[in-house]
Structure 1
Amino acid sequence: MSQTPIELKGSSFTLSVIHLHHTQPEVVSQALQDKIDQAPAFLKNAPVVLNVSSLNGAVNWKEMQQAIAATGLRIVGVSGCKDDALKRMITRAGLPVLSEGKESKPQAEALPEPIVQAAEASKTRIINTPVRSGQQIYARNADLIVTSSVSAGAELVADGNIHIYGTMRGRALAGASGDRDCQIFCTSLSAELVSIAGEYWIMDQLPAEFFGKAARLCLQDGVLTIKTLL
């Protein structure tokens, strides 16, 4: 039994990053609400990081924070902040200012849901067992290969490509560090969500003719595209 009441560990989480391009809170709020209406199951009450690197001009941070929070999104931090005055406002608002490496996912010091994490020795992570609901597998700086099925409620995350050789019913997020050349390969596509470098479809957006079929997803001209897996 542990001698201390808590144990602090580092872990990795996939968070959506909202890049703000407008200083008017009501404009940002409406744009966010439109996105949430498109994918409520994915975005409702979701934890998010705000990236403010593209903001030019004065911004009323208190109003901006309130407008975003009113949509139901949970702000867990702010990145891309280069203005000292804005940093002070963000800090006074009780939010952490996050520093980014090469636009990688923010790191959170917390205990996640049950995670199956592959070893980091090779450039390809291979999972030979079924991925069950509530599990997350993250392949850091690598491709991810799952030779079995992925249940609904499970999540696959890879900085590289993702290959699923069983039925895919969960979520697959390839190019998690922003690599837009990554792809998703699946022999039976019934996913709750698929995403490449932040561009995503939920289940209802998957073309009906590909549902339950072998498929390959990639980005073409920045748009998520699906093709038959030959």
Structure 2
Amino acid sequence: MPQATADLFASPCLQFKGSMVPLTTLELLYFDPEKFSQTLQEKIQQAPNLFKNLPLVLSLDKFADDINNLNLLQIRELCAAQELQLVGIRATEPAQIAAAQAAGLAVLQPSRGRQEAPEDDSQSSLQKASEPQTANPQSGAEATEEVEDPPPGNGVAANRVIRTPIRSGQQVYAPGGDLIIMAPVSAGAEILADGNIHVYGPLRGRALAGVRGNTEAMVFCQSLEAELVSIAGQYKISEDLLGNHWKKPSLLKLEDDRLVIREL
């Protein structure tokens, strides 16, 4: 056996590493299997490539029915039938946590931003918060990004400033602050930030601001040509963005829990 291989097998075969991977949240107000499956299909038809094999977290923050009547295994099967992967739930009630554990699902704490957001029980939507799937293994973001300022000593997260174009297949994330890109964002690229996103050039890929629930986050761009824009889970795809603001300097923000577009 080569020495390099022997050394490898002498070391531990795994290790745990912390990471922040944005996940898509499926917010459930009540559960009707037929309506649930139909709504999933309608959402997926809007952007099939976006939702394929997407990992989901089920939010029960606003679930109004008796948790004992909720079949989490059935929900997972209905999601799997649409090529969506339910990996956990977001809940705090003991009954909800127990139901998730019985179904073999992970339990996540509710988002701070969502807890602070105004209640709107009339809306049930597929929350697109990162969407973003896990990072593309071919992502070259590390090779293209240029961070202007190191994290300050007072513990406040620094913004990320990138001067080079973001190419298709790349994913760039600004944890804890704003993402500022001084170049174009190509179609097929994905940019994410806990705070605001500024693109001083055409925005043609996917932009997700406020991915940890910051409803005050905004997206600014010199030319709106995006495949998808999301703020704190509310999103619009390219078909929704076509209109008076297309290919123009634009600002996107939340108003009354709705994603709106304003001219810059």
TM-score between the two structures when normalised by the length of structure 1: 0.84
Q: How does 1:1-230 map to 2 (within 5 A)?
A: 3=8, 4=11, 8-55=16-63, 56-57=65-66, 58-84=69-95, 86-100=96-110, 102=112, 113=137, 114=139, 115-116=141-142, 120-121=151-152, 122-229=157-264
RMSD of aligned alpha carbons: 2.7
Distance 1:98 1:31, change over 3 A: same
Measure the CA separation in 2 of the matches of 1:41 and 1:94: 27
Paired residues of 2:136 and 2:169 also in contact (CA < 8 A) = no
Paired residues of 2:135 and 2:171 also in contact (CA < 8 A) = no
Measure the CA separation in 1 of the matches of 2:237 and 2:213: 19
Measure the CA separation in 1 of the matches of 2:231 and 2:196: 9
* TM-fit CA distance, 1:120: 4.5
Q: What is the SS of the residue equivalent to 1:97?
A: strand
In structure 1, stretches of 5+ residues that fail to align are none
The amino acid that maps onto 1:174 is A
Q: What is the SS of the residue equivalent to 1:182?
A: coil
Q: What is the SS of the residue equivalent to 1:224?
A: strand
* TM-fit CA distance, 1:16: 0.9
Measure the CA separation in 2 of the matches of 1:150 and 1:8: 32
Q: What is the SS of the residue equivalent to 1:187?
A: strand
Distance 1:128 1:213, change over 3 A: same
Q: What is the SS of the residue equivalent to 1:54?
A: coil
Measure the CA separation in 1 of the matches of 2:167 and 2:14: 27
Q: Report which stretch shifted further, 47-56 or 163-172.
A: 47-56
Structure of larger gyration radius: 2
Q: Report which stretch shifted further, 45-54 or 90-99.
A: 90-99
User: Residue by residue, what CA displacement relative to the aligned partner does 1:58-101 show, whole Å, maximum 9, x if unpaired?
Assistant: 212222222232222111222215234x4344334332223456
Measure the CA separation in 2 of the matches of 1:180 and 1:163: 16
User: Residue by residue, what CA displacement relative to the aligned partner does 1:138-174 show, whole Å, maximum 9, x if unpaired?
Assistant: 1112111000111122111111111001221111111
Distance 1:120 1:153, change over 3 A: farther
Higher strand share: 1
The amino acid that maps onto 2:78 is A
Higher helix share: 2
Measure the CA separation in 2 of the matches of 1:133 and 1:64: 33
Percent of residue pairs identical? 40
TM-score between the two structures when normalised by the length of structure 2: 0.74
Paired residues of 1:161 and 1:184 also in contact (CA < 8 A) = yes
User: Residue by residue, what CA displacement relative to the aligned partner does 1:106-130 show, whole Å, maximum 9, x if unpaired?
Assistant: 9xxx875334375644432111111
Measure the CA separation in 2 of the matches of 1:102 and 1:40: 30
Q: Report which stretch shifted further, 138-147 or 70-79.
A: 70-79
Q: Report which stretch shifted further, 154-163 or 42-51.
A: 42-51
Measure the CA separation in 2 of the matches of 1:205 and 1:64: 28
In structure 2, stretches of 5+ residues that fail to align are 115-128
Paired residues of 1:9 and 1:111 also in contact (CA < 8 A) = no
The amino acid that maps onto 2:52 is K
Q: What is the SS of the residue equivalent to 2:173?
A: strand
The answer for the alignment partner of 2:118 in structure 1 is none
